Amino acid sequence: MRGMPEWIKQALAWIVVVGAIVATWIILDLTGAVSSDRLPPLTDVISAAGREAEDLPIAVLATAGRVAAGFVIGAVVGVFIALLSHLSTVASELLAPPIHLLRSFPPFVVAPFIILWFGLSVQAPIVFAATVTAFVVVIDSGEALRVVRREYPQAAQALGAGHVSRAMLIDTPAIIPAIAGGLRVALVGAVNAVLLYEMLTGTEGVGDLLIRGYQLFRIDTLFFAVIVAILLSLLLDRILVLLLNRATHWSRG
């Protein structure tokens, strides 16, 4: 292993992890340790993939679109609320009680409220994902803003920057490296929110594929849908990491 480039070691580690999962699956199946109505043979899952291939792109795109829209809206709203609370004394005092409440508010509890108020509308899962994202981003951004170096905003204000330009040009870029981890957590939260909404309401998407597999006792479809959900979440995370790396390259200088 010594002398091997870091990226090869990481790629090998990924192969080992995925290989271990697949090997365990095959062993459990072949030895009959777990019955096939609880753990389908891998070949059945591959057949399910072929069966669902026609509808899958639409389901994946629907879920990914909802997650992306909800995440972007939630992140922007979250940063905006944190900035407002940071820059204005009155807003800070006014927003303190709901922000304090958010720290212990369980995000999944929001689901029934969204279904009650937004029903099966297009915006319902997006609002849910945005709410879950904003919960995380408001708290993380608030904490990041507290440790932004004071010289930057002071220098900007000395050069004539107003509140809006300071927020847009100094505070927001300054907190992105600090909230990058929180944004990744929020993205998985948004995926969970959209999947839960689709499962509870039967709205077309990966969540619906999951719950259909359960309701129709199609365990092969169910396991295939779980793999799709994990791959979708991984893909969205990689895209976010790529974008964050671009946005924060200056901070690693």
Partner 1 sequence: MSSNAFNALRRTPRWSRATAATVLWLLLWWLLAATAAVPYLPSPLAQAENLIGNSPAYLLAAGATLVRAVIGFAIGAALGILLPIVLGYWSATRYVLDALADLTRTIPGIALLPIFLLWFGTGDGTAVALVAAATSFIVIVVSASSIRNVDPIYLRAASALGGAGLQGYLLVVTPAMLPGVLGGLRVALAAALPWAIAGEYLGAQNGLGYILWNSLQSVNLRQMISVAIVASLIVALLDLAMRAGGARVTAWAQTAEGR
How far apart are alpha carbons 83 and 151 in whole angstroms?
17
Q: What backbone phi and psi angles, to 5 degrees, belong to 122?
A: -65, -35
Q: Which two tokens stand for residue 125?
A: 């899962």
Tell me if 106 contacts partner 1 by CB under 8 A: yes
Tell me if 184 contacts partner 1 by CB under 8 A: yes
Q: How far is CA 196 from each of CA 25, 113, 138, 172, 189, rounded to the nearest angstrom?
A: 26, 13, 22, 31, 10
How far apart are alpha carbons 41 and 28 in whole angstroms?
9
Name, in order, each residue with C-beta under 8 angstroms of 151's C-beta and a sequence gap of 6 or more: none
Site residue total, partner 1 (CB under 8 A):
54
Tell me if 138 contacts partner 1 by CB under 8 A: no
Shortest Cβ distance from residue 173 to partner 1 (Å)? 25
Shortest Cβ distance from residue 236 to partner 1 (Å)? 8
Shortest Cβ distance from residue 113 to partner 1 (Å)? 6
Residues 44-83 that bind partner 1 (CB under 8 A): none
Among 170, 178, 210, 220, binds partner 1 (CB under 8 A): 210
Among 45, 69, 81, 195, binds partner 1 (CB under 8 A): 195
Tell me if 115 contacts partner 1 by CB under 8 A: yes
Shortest Cβ distance from residue 5 to partner 1 (Å)? 12
Residue reference for tokens 């309401």 = 201
Shortest Cβ distance from residue 202 to partner 1 (Å)? 12
| Closest C-alpha among 117, 249, 102 to residue 186 | 102
Tell me if 163 contacts partner 1 by CB under 8 A: no
3-state secondary structure of 103: coil
For 105, other C-beta atoms within 10 Å of its C-beta total 12
How far apart are alpha carbons 62 and 144 in whole angstroms?
33
The contact set with partner 1 (CB under 8 A) reads: 1, 9-10, 12-14, 16-17, 38, 89-90, 93-94, 96-98, 101, 103-109, 111-113, 115-117, 184, 188, 191-192, 195-196, 199-200, 206, 210-211, 213-214, 217, 219, 222-223, 225-226, 229-230, 233-234, 237
